[in-house]
Amino acid sequence: MPNYDPTQMADWQIAQAAEAHMKTVYQLGEELGLDKMELLPYGHYVAKLDYMRILERLKDRPDGKYIEVTAITPTPLGEGKSTTTMGLTQGLGRLGKKVIAAIRQPSSGPTFNIKGSAAGGGLAQCIPLTEFSLGLTGDIDAINNAHNLAMVAATSRMQHEFNYDDSVLASKGLRRLDIDPRNMNMKWSMDFCAQALRDIIIGLGGKMDGFMMQSGFQITVSSEVMAILAVATSLADMRQRMGKIVVAWDKKGNEVTTGDLEVAGAMTALMVRAINPNLLQTLEGQPVLVHAGPFANIAIGQSSIIADKVGLKLADYHVTESGFGADIGFEKFWNLKCRFSGLTPNVSVIVATIRALKMHGGGPAVVPGRKLDPAYTEPHPELVEKGIENLVAHIETVRKSGINPVVCLNHFYTDTDDEVAIVRRAAEAAGARFAVSKHWLLGGEGAEELAQVVVEAAEEKPHFRFLYEDSDPLKTKIEKIAKEVYGADGVSYTPLADEKIKKVESDPELKKFGTCMVKTHLSLSHDPRLKGRPKGWILPISDVLTFRGAGFVVPVAGDIKLMPGTASDPSFRRIDVDPETGKVVGLF
């Protein structure tokens, strides 16, 4: 790879320069040992992989080492999990290892808002950047369409039942579902941050213009359809799950599912191509599988089980990414994704930065779009020392799972040796291996230390165990997560949450479901203002949602919106097209 300087070039400029030297998907397929029919090209540099053919052909091949990447509680800027995932993959490649990464497809919401596209950064990126960031092969569009088709089925049925009696409905082959418009389980979806659409009225006009009711939108990646893509193990499994999605309740309080609406088959038809993982590459030419979506604070936030199973068969090391910190993304990887997949991870890499540790140690607020306070670019070892307890909390969480933890200090060029030494001492004292990685600045060369430490950790047998049993009561599951992962003293429940928990416990199927917590990613607690390792607090559960298709019960902690808002200085202001070349500029 040519020598690019990330201190002088924007991420998108590095990506575009590197794309001139990309491998074609045919080269990647040959290096992976794929049969011709297993590669489904979308142009020369992006493809889908026929997962069914691959898994069937390689069913007797042993799995490679399974590496998960998580982080400490981040600043609002993020601490570089995707960048580290790319850097580690490049570093393993430099050690001569056959390696594949799996990351999540970015949502258009953050891509056009303040966080960016999640392709990595500096000399540790996934390319081609434009395709990765702007729709890829249409998976999120398929999810959006499948989700909204369920809403079309529900709202049109409500209109027809309002306008026609039972005999007319019967003549059309329909039975009355009697959906309660005040008791909907789903909203419409859109993959942008659109706060104006959180609560709306639909169906204004005459009787042919729909059923008038209160409704709203959620961001597409929070859809249960996305969750199903993340946890499905086959197309047959996806089809079965799709028919269990609860769209609403009828006026007697009974569930109305996509199966009742006879729309699940059509929804699955929209997802047939999306179930195949996407193949891209790192800046240094290692293969990257991109599948499923982000937002572990309001969704499962994992790369898909199918992508991981494919990667584990095709490579000796498979590196997969989870969303946000270990309290959210890793906890869901541990207790949900691994439970569904049956896979046992070897290593969990916990990404930390001096910047985030300084914030947890009492540093000034980190605000997207504003210049960082000098405290974050000048030596302040006392802030690092005070903030280290946040890192220790995440190490303890990973160790409870029995997975081997490796702390990766994602090195910024402003970090000092004294500050790095503090993190090393604390990580090793807490029982984790430690590595400094300069992948942002140096690419795979800068990640060789991290890669070597991960290889060593992967040789040590994990003693994997779940935090809770399927048979545990829901409140026991919630309280184990709250106390043992978040560090809460206890849990409180609103009357609404208590009522819904009783319904879960009375349902033989629901009571065995996994617990997918909804909580802020900006604190170990439910309150984003509480940094470090908060003490003496109670986790408030305000609501409990059920994702019957995905197999989750979803307790909601605090005030969380399923539709984020767009900030006053969104990144779309800086994204444009070069009229001479047609290339997209300004992505990050």
Point out the residues that are catalytic. 81, 83, 104, 115, 296, 324, 412, 440
Distance in angstroms between the alpha carbons of the first and the last residue of the chain: 20
Residue indicated by tokens 């297993």: 38
Encode 318-360 in three state secondary structure: EEEEECCCHHHHHHHHHHHHHHHHCCCCCEEEEEECHHHHHHH
Residues 6+ apart with CB under 8 A from 473: 505, 511
In terms of C-beta density within 10 A (0-12 exposed, 13-18 middle, 19 or more buried), how is residue 495 classed? exposed
Question: Which contacts of 236-245 are long-range, i.e. CB under 8 A and separated by 24 or more positions?
Answer: 238/268, 238/271, 238/275, 239/264, 239/265, 239/268, 241/549, 241/550, 241/551, 242/146, 242/267, 242/268, 242/271, 242/549, 243/549, 244/548, 244/549, 245/150, 245/186, 245/547, 245/548, 245/549
Q: Give the pairing of strands 584-585 and 200-202.
A: unpaired
Helix (H, G, I), strand (E, B) or coil at 189: strand
Distance CA 354, CA 378 (A): 11
Structure tokens belonging to residue 234: 């086959």
Whether the link from the prior residue into 128 is cis, omega within 30° of 0, is yes
Establish how many alpha carbons lie within 13 A of residue 173's alpha carbon, considering only the half-sphere containing its beta carbon: 3
Residue 482 per-residue DSSP state: I
Residue pair 525/534 in contact (Cβ under 8 Å)? The answer is yes
Establish how many alpha carbons lie within 13 A of residue 395's alpha carbon, considering only the half-sphere containing its beta carbon: 20
Distance CA 226, CA 230 (A): 6
State the virtual CA torsion across 289, 287, 447, 312 in degrees, nearest 10.
60
Question: Which residues are registered as beta bridge partners of 515?
Answer: 553
Distance CA 300, CA 297 (A): 8
Query: Among 242, 197, 264, 282, which residue's Cα sits nearest to residue 1?
Result: 282
Residues 6+ apart with CB under 8 A from 369: 114, 567, 568, 569
Identity at 482, one-letter amino acid code: A
Question: Which residues are registered as beta bridge partners of 222?
Answer: none
- Which helix (H) or strand (E) covers residue 105, if one does? none
Return phi, psi of residue 489, to 5°.
-80, -20
Residues found in the chain: 588
